[in-house]
């Protein structure tokens, strides 16, 4: 059981990427937008993360090549 936990933890940590300053934008109220794999996520200073969705319940997308966060 310990081996499975170690393997899964290693896989999750290996998939993490370094976040650059140009990938984030402060929204306010301790919320920051970040572009990860072409999807805009809202991150909270207390540790939460959720995809940013539009009125049609689809996530906002961003250009992965230059990690632009869409303007409203």
Write out 5-70 in H/E/C secondary structure. HHHHHHHHHHCCCCCCHHHEEEEECCEEEEEECCEEEEEECCCCEEECECCCCCECECECCCCECC
Contact 41, 61 (CB under 8 A): no
Higher pLDDT, 15 or 38: 38
Nearest Cα neighbor of 30 from 50, 47, 17 is 47
Global confidence as pTM: 0.56
The answer to whether residue 72 scores a pLDDT higher than 60 is no
């Amino acid at each position: 059981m310990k081996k499975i936990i170690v393997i899964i933890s290693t896989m999750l940590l290996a998939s993490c990427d370094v976040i650059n300053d140009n990938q984030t934008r402060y929204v306010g109220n301790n919320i920051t937008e970040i572009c990860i794999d072409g999807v805009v996520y809202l991150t909270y200073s207390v540790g939460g993360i959720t995809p940013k969705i539009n009125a049609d319940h689809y996530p906002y997308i961003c250009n992965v090549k230059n990690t632009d966060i869409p303007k409203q």
